[in-house]
Structure 1
């Protein structure tokens, strides 16, 4: 059997099954939608004859062959860069993304991205997502947010993980260093998020046209009333959700270049050394601390965590040494 092709013998138990569903389950690395597309494109045969109807019923004793065309190279080019890999198998990669790394090529960031690095790292192990040899980005962290990310290596993993993120069938926790201290030790912000009405580069809590968004938070540590380290859990996954919601309740993130519009009043409470360091912090102080999800192939519940990066740890150390 040539590399990348699959041959499947249907047994009596499979008789009557829908063809695309049967082949996807038997192969295990291609999603049903990908198998359906291959059938319709003429890349599946039944007993040597073309099988072009994804809904046809499976015949017991019939031998089916799936011959996907070679995956074409993605437009982004491989670029070797150091990566902190937390877990990897043939289905997925879990990594600790550093702050400052853009996830996907875009205008202004055509190379030097996480996708470029993953193309170099995984290479031929990428079996093709939608027929293109590329890593499957199922969620993104902002350029200047650090922490745990999962990336699919196969079409099946990409579809399963995308569904898990869409239905929130997973666990995510972030650590955020925010100005001021919430009045309650724990709470939630339930407010829809959409594009800012006058600044299209920003998101905002909106009264119409937004998408539901829910963020739960708890105060882990506080330094007087000057700032607090919050653990945030997402019940939804909107763009800039934590940054928008915390700003909305009066506790914007330290260093946030978009949602921190003026020097917070809480800054006056802190000693000059700590205050100056927080005001000079060059990025939003947000870290994706942990991620838990079910493995797309085995169903095993996996959990991963990444420690605070050195720049955020340095702020906490400075605050501890300069209490209000």
Structure 2
């Protein structure tokens, strides 16, 4: 039997696994749920049956029922969340802004400055610590350092909407949508420079050779993972531009790395060079103005504003939006006033 596993990475977290199994020529007829129990590590029969019910198991590119009997040379494709692992996350009574909750999913509006999950130098005070305190039995996944319920993530200093799964069934359902790139994720970003028109940034994104904390864009598929960001110009303010970014893929630092790659780093993004005056005049008055903007928004100007997906139980599209947080709104207002003042002087 040929067996070919590959990982589907959502923002490099290894949340889901994609398995492709070609059944051996000598395989006897066997129910597919029983067959997969012996082929997928740590998979219970219930977990397999849930995946089949949700259409996450295909045989010869077609969905099947749990009673289907595998035949020699069948090609089986499976998309599953990884099973639970023994990684302890300590619950903490931290405030979180829940935008929506039902039996299957949570939508949380994360504040800038809050780390999403425990990791190096951030073992407490994270969103996940708060989630395990406020909500019981969130599904946990191996290979991702105990991040119960997380379907995706956003950076510490990025604000906005996050989708959380409350059970394994919804996790499987959402995993397929992320794999198929049908989840809607739109971000508001303020970038340096005057973007001439709407556009798309693509490339293979991977760790920078010079600085492992930074992601770079490459032409070589051996150096990174394929990434796609579509952006639309919303408002031009002379030396900065407000844009909407829609993710087709979701890699680590994707929007931040993409915008720097095309010469328009995010405003106030220290990691990608946006915390310096990159456009504008040499006058001290302008320099002071920009420094004031940096003080108002001492983090990258990036906000996860829109989140849409097909609900696992309701089977209908749902869409959530988050208003710009006060720091982003204040910096934006200051730039608008500056632009108006300059025009009035002319």
> Which position in structure 1 is the counterpart of 2:78?
none
- Distance, in Å, in 2 between the alignment partners of 1:213 and 1:38 is 30
> Which position in structure 2 is the counterpart of 1:36?
45
From the superposition, tell whether residues 73 and 193 of structure 1 become closer, same or farther in structure 2 (CA, over 3 Å).
Answer: closer
Q: In structure 2, the residue corresponding to 1:147 is in which secondary structure?
A: strand
Q: Which runs of 5+ in 1 are unaligned?
A: 1-15, 22-32, 40-54, 59-70
Q: In structure 2, the residue corresponding to 1:259 is in which secondary structure?
A: coil
Q: Which runs of 5+ in 2 are unaligned?
A: 1-28, 35-41, 49-65, 70-83
Is 1:86 the counterpart of 2:95 in the alignment?
no
Which of 250, 259, 264 in structure 2 is aligned with 1:246? 259
TM-score with structure 1 length normalisation?
A: 0.75
From the superposition, tell whether residues 322 and 20 of structure 1 become closer, same or farther in structure 2 (CA, over 3 Å).
Answer: same
Map 1:1-324 to 2 at 5 A: 18=31, 20=33, 34-36=43-45, 75-123=88-136, 126=137, 128-129=139-140, 135-184=148-197, 186-208=198-220, 209-224=223-238, 226-260=239-273, 263-268=276-281, 271-280=286-295, 281-323=297-339, 324=342
Give the superposition deviation at 1:77.
1.0
Equivalent pair of 1:129/1:158 in contact (CA under 8 Å):
no
- Distance, in Å, in 2 between the alignment partners of 1:306 and 1:262 is 25
Equivalent pair of 1:192/1:213 in contact (CA under 8 Å):
yes
- Distance, in Å, in 2 between the alignment partners of 1:286 and 1:89 is 28
> Which position in structure 2 is the counterpart of 1:49?
none
Larger-Rg structure: 1
Give the superposition deviation at 1:97.
0.6
Give the superposition deviation at 1:135.
2.8
Equivalent pair of 2:88/2:146 in contact (CA under 8 Å):
no
TM-score with structure 2 length normalisation?
A: 0.70
Q: What's the Cα RMSD here?
A: 3.2
From the superposition, tell whether residues 150 and 158 of structure 1 become closer, same or farther in structure 2 (CA, over 3 Å).
Answer: same
Give the superposition deviation at 1:283.
0.8
| CA displacement, residues 144-172 of structure 1 (integer Å, 9 cap, x when unaligned) | 00001101110111122122122211111
Equivalent pair of 1:138/1:150 in contact (CA under 8 Å):
yes
> Which position in structure 2 is the counterpart of 1:52?
none
Q: In structure 2, the residue corresponding to 1:233 is in which secondary structure?
A: strand
Equivalent pair of 2:267/2:274 in contact (CA under 8 Å):
no
